[in-house]
Amino acid sequence: MTTFPTIEKLVAVAVKGGHNANDAKGVIEKSYDYLKRVYADTTASKLVNIAYVIY
């Protein structure tokens, strides 16, 4: 079992994908608990996409 990525790791992935760091942190923080509970075995890049879709 892999460990779930931290908020900082997800923000880094979002920034690498072209998102603004401050905006990404806000989006990811709002849905982090939900992502961790529902999408525990998902890749970091997919988690970032999901966070932006549900935002």
pLDDT tens-place string over residues 1-50: 568 999 999 999 999 999 999 999 999 999 999 999 999 999 999 999 99
pLDDT of residue 55: 87
Alpha-carbon gap, residue 53 to 47, rounded angstroms: 10
Kindly give, in sequence order, each residue whose CB lies less than 8 Å from that of residue 24, ignoring residues fewer than 6 positions away.
Answer: 10, 11, 14, 15, 48
Domain boundaries of the chain, sorted by first residue: 7-54
| pTM score of the predicted model | 0.90
